[in-house]
Amino acid sequence: MMAKILDGKATANDLLENVANKISKLKANGIVPGLAVILVGDNPASQVYVRNKRKKAEKLGINFVLKELPKDSTQEEVLQLVEQFNHDEKINGILVQSPLPKQIDEEKVIRMIDPKKDVDGLHPQNLGLLFGNIKQYYPVACTPKGVITLLNKYQINVDGKNVVIVGRSKLVGKPLLALLNNLNATVTLAHSHTHNLEEITKKADILIATVGKIGVITDNMVKPGAVVIDVGINRNSDGKLVGDVADNVKEVASYITPVPGGVGPMTVATLMEQVVELTAVQTNNENLLE
């Protein structure tokens, strides 16, 4: 058996088409969605991510504002900039690119973002709404939301399924746990202190790897016919992009996401979708939230 590919690139393109339609409707009412990105320092990976976001946003007609600060910037300077964007009516979504230099407390920066403009869904207020499964609109971390969109596209139902997430980051593992729990999956969150990882992963109908370590999931850890989602983005010794899941897993799984071309494009497309959703909520265009 060879796993079918969950094509994140094609699914992201469909999503972006839908986003573009919503943007035209907003523009017909004189509204241009605005995304502000704050980049502190000169981390090369962060620069690439920001460039990708800019390219997608500008292609869609989103007003993209990038503020770059030197890596020796103070906490106060970053907080002031966030506050400035909080009050700027042309800005609907604010994103602070991580990682931040060590002198800056990331938690404080996230808390300073207006929850209504928190495009990454990491403000404690939005996390509370997510974990409480509150029935209203709120932004959700883009990678987890993108994973759910991808599963939906391929009609992979999570209701009642055993889902194992390996990795408990606040950006992916934890919000994904809440999203899947809200969709009635039985979720296990494994991490670096988990004993007998292989025993746990072998019970998964859907296995999600988000560790950031090459080949951490191997074929003997996967139940035959399981769906495998690889969130990892790593570079191997040849400089090639690879995930957390070993190559031979595709011989055991029923569906698998490739790296690149799986979860990555979904994250960027979901970010754009969320900028538009936040704009719709802020401008009383909730009818665009279908």
254 is in an annotated binding site: no
> Kind and range of the H or E element at 16?
helix 8-28
Q: Establish whether 120 is a catalytic residue.
A: yes
Q: Establish whether 230 is a catalytic residue.
A: no
- Under a CB-based contact definition with an 8 Å cutoff, are residues 192 and 214 in contact? no
121 is in an annotated binding site: no
Type of residue found at 7: D
168 is in an annotated binding site: yes
Other CB atoms within a 10 A radius of the CB of residue 252 amount to 20
Structure tokens at 60: 């869609």
- Under a CB-based contact definition with an 8 Å cutoff, are residues 65 and 94 in contact? no
The one catalytic residue in 22, 56, 118, 120 is 120
The rounded distance, in Å, linking the Cα atoms of 194 and 121 is: 27
The one catalytic residue in 22, 56, 97, 117 is 97
282 by Cβ neighbours in 10 Å (0-12 / 13-18 / 19+) ranks as middle
Q: Establish whether 114 is a catalytic residue.
A: no
169 is in an annotated binding site: yes
Residue 98 has what DSSP assignment? S
Q: Which residues belong to the annotated binding site?
A: 167-169, 233
Catalytic positions, please? 53, 97, 120
Q: Which residues belong to the annotated binding site for NADP(+)?
A: 167-169, 233
